[in-house]
């Protein structure tokens, strides 16, 4: 059974870079079928897609975050990562990693990780 | 503010039927599939409905999805206490370069 687990610092200072890693177990990220995505949920708000990375390095991003987001994969560790630069308090959220297939318009996120809370504060 | 509009809350008593709405636009719900996720805070969100009205294996048939025009609905019949959770709708939006959009989530209370 495929499982995803987020990890990274729970506290990031304003203007710095948020870095999270998602470790995949029970399957490989070296797949030509699946994308590996990030979704966040700020406190009291809805979910927001951040972006997704595909084996081989191809990435797609939410236009609203694209200028600050970098996605990458490490197939040797079966992990994929998120970097979000120049963070502000508005980036405080629970961050989830999840798998989906393509094409995007007809795929869905499943499974998801349990999420990790990242707080942006000095 | 979320791109898709959901009521912030819904409630029902055990055994009742509850519906949760999800309103979008011609660039998302109007032309693409709608998905529903069930989420208990502190846990991983769970896929509930895919491609408007399809249930993944293991999801009870008490849960059903539908779509008409730019709106979609999730119906839960025979409400049970364990259905108390947050429910999120989602769709792909074809505007700009394309991106996933979600609703603000609906908190379902079982009275």
Is pLDDT above 90 for A102?
A: no
The count of C-alpha atoms lying within 13 angstroms of the C-alpha of A12, restricted to the half-sphere facing its C-beta, is 25
Residues with Cβ within 8 Å of residue A4, at least 6 apart in sequence = A22, A23, A24, A25, A97, A98, A99, A111, A112, A113, B44
- Residue B2 forms contact with A (CB below 8 Å): yes
| A77-96 residues touching B, CB cutoff 8 A | 96
Query: A49–B44: do the CB atoms touch at under 8 Å?
Result: no
Provide the 3-class DSSP secondary structure of residue A119.
strand
Give the nearest partner residue to A106 out of B4, B33, B45, using CB atoms.
Answer: B33
H or E element in which residue A29 lies: none
Q: How far apart are CA B13 and CA B79, in angstroms?
A: 7
- Residue B75 forms contact with A (CB below 8 Å): no
By C-alpha distance, which of B111, B57, B110 is closest to B87?
A: B110
**Angle at the Cα of B67 from the Cα atoms of A99 and B33, rounded to 5 degrees:** 30
What does the pLDDT look like over B18-71, one tens digit per residue?
A: 999 999 999 999 999 999 999 998 899 999 999 999 999 999 999 999 999 999
- In this complex, how many residue pairs, one in chain A and one in chain B, have their CB atoms less than 8 Å apart? 74
- Residue B24 forms contact with A (CB below 8 Å): no
Chain A nearest C-alpha distance from B77 (Å): 24
What does the pLDDT look like over A70-85, one tens digit per residue?
A: 999 999 999 999 999 9
Is pLDDT above 90 for A58?
A: no
Contacts of B106 in chain A (CB under 8 A): none
Is pLDDT above 90 for B100?
A: yes
């Amino acid at each position: 059974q495929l499982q995803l687990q987020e990890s990274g610092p729970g506290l990031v200072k304003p203007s710095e870079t948020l870095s999270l890693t998602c470790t995949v177990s029970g399957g490989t990220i070296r797949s030509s079928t699946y994308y590996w995505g990030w979704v966040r949920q700020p406190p009291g708000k809805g979910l927001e897609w951040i972006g997704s990375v595909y084996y081989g390095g191809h990435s797609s991003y939410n236009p609203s975050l694209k200028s600050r987001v970098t996605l990458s994969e490490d197939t040797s560790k079966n992990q994929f990562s998120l970097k979000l630069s120049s963070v502000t308090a508005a980036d405080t959220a629970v961050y989830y990693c999840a798998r989906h297939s393509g094409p995007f318009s007809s795929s869905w996120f499943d499974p998801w990780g349990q999420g990790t809370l990242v707080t942006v504060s000095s | 503010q979320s791109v898709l509009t959901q009521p912030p809350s819904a409630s029902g008593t055990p055994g009742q039927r509850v519906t949760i709405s999800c309103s979008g636009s011609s660039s998302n719900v109007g032309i693409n599939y709608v998905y529903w996720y069930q989420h208990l805070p502190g846990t991983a969100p769970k896929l509930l409905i895919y491609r408007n009205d399809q249930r993944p294996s293991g999801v009870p048939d008490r849960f059903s999805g539908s779509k008409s025009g730019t709106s979609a609905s999730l119906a839960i019949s025979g409400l049970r206490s364990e259905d108390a959770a947050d429910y999120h709708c989602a769709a792909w939006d074809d505007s700009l370069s394309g991106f996933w959009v979600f609703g603000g989530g609906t908190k379902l209370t079982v009275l």
